[in-house]
Structure 1
């Protein structure tokens, strides 16, 4: 365990192994509670909830197939907490954080143990998970403890309107799916093969891509809904699937997967697939592969990623925070802005409700996101000043999302389009804004 001192804020990181061991003890000896208060505040304006310092937990991927998303998400949360505390904290107290590992959908016991641990430690808010399937495995656990869960990366439509204790700062697949399909069709492709992992995220995103393709007069020639071609998360052998897919003579392939993508690419290479301008990734596998493949392997591959492109100043801040606190180099920025915004929204909701318990945050998060209109604010500090002046606020954060709707989904969001070069790393091409249909 290491302790990282940042100003007046003590940030504690627990290793995955120690976190799991502690969670096992907590599950036997601790009662689940969201805070020292019973979380029963019933007003969006000072509901008589907890006055304890706000404690935020994370359930983000330190291990597993989405571990590449952990560093930027962790940096986003950590930087936001530092900024909040530099501005005076929440209701006069510094915000503290309990770090936790989500693992992935191949072993949901990791996330369950982390949720037990965070609840036992009295967090009011849990930022995460990255995987929609993981969130579906713990969302009820958090809700029963009146802990507000805010995901910076979940996109599965199954989570829209799931409950009052779940919100997200990433758009659902109803936005990314059509954007991904438009990218494929815009490149002149109309016979698309899918390689899809068999869980909520993979199936859901594939369905929305396929629906948009078919609406455009195109077809899924392999791996479509109902065909039974999905693979289990963690699969490593794709020889038979790639053979069957290529036999259908697709003019494009969309890969909806996580870490399994490395094995998929290697199999496609061995069977002679030309990736340039014909292959498409999504947020789950849009990663810098560097020397994982021979130079030029991924050249011309494109991918879609929900969220606005982080500007240079914000990237520099994230990089500095990660270097100082994690002693590493931040190489990816996926969902960093959404993680930052999730943390700030939680803090502003506590300020508006004048309490730090999960119920109060749940009751006020839509309002501070701009659901009721109000003064636009770009920082936590600006938001606090406006709230203290009696104004409604619309927090315009780093990710560029619109106010949360009644399903606690952002009403609009950007989808970034990225392209791989000869070095097997991706660069930003452009972004489009999508609206979320009610």
Structure 2
């Protein structure tokens, strides 16, 4: 049923009363029959008044030029509109129009062309006499630029149906108008057939192994990016498909997954998450010249371009996080530090970085205790901490093993301060604990959130609405890695002779992403935005990880 029906003069410019009436009527959507200028004014007024409802429009707004009437184009994001669907085009008008900026940005241009041409042909019969009769003759299965036209007895044409189009304007650099569905009176709504090229992108996701709990979040973030890439590529005849395989946070699993991706014909790979998995996958992919962009691998060794060719990452090396952790321990008066770490590539890399920074500042370690990442019983490791009377623990682990260590420390009555790196810096650390309050007071670091930008805010809003993403880690980085890969494929298509790795290096210069502004160095590294220094707190009986401090290379902890 209609919640309300509101008319207005086409000269009106102030729509506050109309928008307020919609809000007062508690409507749950808006159907807007308007032209471009007034339609934009209505939506901008709704945004100012806090009225955010699904909005649908007709052919008066169904063009990319609609976005030009907004002071903030992102307000149009999600608006749907219909317009008459072009039939099979005859002649070269469509091609000629596409090369003229004014014509290409217009509406009903092919229909205007057809109307003029049909009148012209009718006028050539009997030197313009009996025009109505001759128009009916010309308009009998007329092959026009806007489709086949046959006039009915009342002068109407049946048309070819209607395109169903959407405006996607997530930021000032992500603005698109695409028509991916259409409607006909016979078949209703249906997908518009895609005519173009589909490119496969690989995604290495730790669906099994020690950080499998975060795999759903990585996958959601990659799919959000994939959707944006396909919106961007639709009108250019380019679509992407994602081929996702398990990396297992394990070298053998990741290498097998990389081979599967090669066999699937991917042009690039996003991932892996764990450093050891990335290293093993690169041995397979690098040999084939397939570039990788990791969203979470931080081992310092990956900076070696000769050992890991065609490799990029959107997270800073742990060569930076190690000194950050050392500064945090110092700032919090940590003493007699026991370094408890996994011996896999991630754990040993970050542990070495921390130890070098800690000891380089004139400190000594109370104990340095490594363990296999498959370990589940930490009685002996914690006993070593207690036997050495260590006053603090630096925990380099993932969430599951980290939780087990924290529980064992409590069981053996350890009362000192616990610190950790990015592997535990999320509420997921507490999820598997019988008593989540054991997280209370733990301090950990993770790459800092960037200064907010349009893309980070847009992704943040989408991610927050999807539980797997909202509860995940490195989701913004997974989004950025995927979208940089996709945009680099776009760039390569217009740069014959350039490799995809070269295009990744070029696209990744000042790239404004959801996780920050990325600039790839020659070895594929990024500098990052510093580190969040967060503390676990219990809020209303539930654990919360709060970034109350930060660390930068130039300013330390603040």
Query: How far is the alpha carbon of 1:197 from its aligned partner?
Result: 0.9
Query: How far is the alpha carbon of 1:198 from its aligned partner?
Result: 1.0
Alignment check: 8 A CA contact 2:425 2:444 kept: yes
Query: How far is the alpha carbon of 1:137 from its aligned partner?
Result: 1.4
Paired with 1:174 and 1:263, the residues of 2 have a C-alpha distance of 27
Q: What corresponds to 1:206 in structure 2?
A: 351
Query: How far is the alpha carbon of 1:341 from its aligned partner?
Result: 1.2
Q: Helix, strand or coil: the match of 2:245?
A: coil
Query: How far is the alpha carbon of 1:218 from its aligned partner?
Result: 2.0
Q: Helix, strand or coil: the match of 2:532?
A: strand
Paired with 2:273 and 2:235, the residues of 1 have a C-alpha distance of 26
Paired with 2:548 and 2:497, the residues of 1 have a C-alpha distance of 39
Q: What corresponds to 2:441 in structure 1?
A: 300
Q: What corresponds to 1:380 in structure 2?
A: none
Q: Helix, strand or coil: the match of 1:56?
A: strand
Q: Helix, strand or coil: the match of 1:54?
A: strand
Do the aligned partners of residues 209 and 359 (structure 1) sit closer, same or farther apart at CA in structure 2, a change above 3 Å counting? Answer: farther
Unmatched tracts of structure 2, length 5 or more: 1-77, 79-195
Q: Helix, strand or coil: the match of 2:439?
A: coil
Q: What corresponds to 2:316 in structure 1?
A: 171
Paired with 2:393 and 2:198, the residues of 1 have a C-alpha distance of 50
Q: What corresponds to 2:521 in structure 1?
A: 405
Matched, 1:126 2:266: no
Do the aligned partners of residues 397 and 312 (structure 1) sit closer, same or farther apart at CA in structure 2, a change above 3 Å counting? Answer: closer
Corresponding residue to 1:351 among 470, 479, 490: 490
**What TM-score, normalized by structure 1, do the two folds share?**
0.73
Do the aligned partners of residues 124 and 337 (structure 1) sit closer, same or farther apart at CA in structure 2, a change above 3 Å counting? Answer: same
Matched, 1:71 2:216: yes
Q: What corresponds to 1:421 in structure 2?
A: 537
Matched, 1:282 2:410: no
Paired with 1:134 and 1:244, the residues of 2 have a C-alpha distance of 30
Query: How far is the alpha carbon of 1:209 from its aligned partner?
Result: 0.9
Alignment check: 8 A CA contact 1:90 1:350 kept: no
Q: What corresponds to 1:28 in structure 2?
A: none
Matches for 1:187-336 after TM superposition, within 5 Å: 187-223=332-368, 229-258=369-398, 259-274=400-415, 278-288=417-427, 289-290=430-431, 292-308=433-449, 313-320=458-465, 323=466, 329-336=468-475
Paired with 2:202 and 2:494, the residues of 1 have a C-alpha distance of 17
Matched, 1:430 2:546: no
Do the aligned partners of residues 201 and 426 (structure 1) sit closer, same or farther apart at CA in structure 2, a change above 3 Å counting? Answer: same
Q: What corresponds to 2:281 in structure 1?
A: 138
Deviations 1:66-92 (CA, angstroms, capped at 9, x unpaired): 113312222221111111222235953
Paired with 1:62 and 1:125, the residues of 2 have a C-alpha distance of 20
Q: Which has the higher contact order (CA 8 A, sep 6+)?
A: 1
Query: How far is the alpha carbon of 1:157 from its aligned partner?
Result: 0.8
Do the aligned partners of residues 196 and 291 (structure 1) sit closer, same or farther apart at CA in structure 2, a change above 3 Å counting? Answer: closer
Do the aligned partners of residues 302 and 354 (structure 1) sit closer, same or farther apart at CA in structure 2, a change above 3 Å counting? Answer: same
Query: How far is the alpha carbon of 1:113 from its aligned partner?
Result: 2.5
Query: How far is the alpha carbon of 1:217 from its aligned partner?
Result: 2.6
Query: How far is the alpha carbon of 1:98 from its aligned partner?
Result: 1.0
Q: Helix, strand or coil: the match of 2:424?
A: coil
Paired with 1:361 and 1:78, the residues of 2 have a C-alpha distance of 21
Paired with 1:247 and 1:269, the residues of 2 have a C-alpha distance of 15
Corresponding residue to 2:233 among 88, 91, 114: 88
Do the aligned partners of residues 132 and 359 (structure 1) sit closer, same or farther apart at CA in structure 2, a change above 3 Å counting? Answer: farther
**What TM-score, normalized by structure 2, do the two folds share?**
0.58
Query: How far is the alpha carbon of 1:307 from its aligned partner?
Result: 4.5
Unmatched tracts of structure 1, length 5 or more: 1-6, 8-50, 224-228, 371-393
Paired with 1:215 and 1:151, the residues of 2 have a C-alpha distance of 30
Q: What corresponds to 1:387 in structure 2?
A: none
Deviations 1:197-238 (CA, angstroms, capped at 9, x unpaired): 112211110111112112333221101xxxxx3111110122
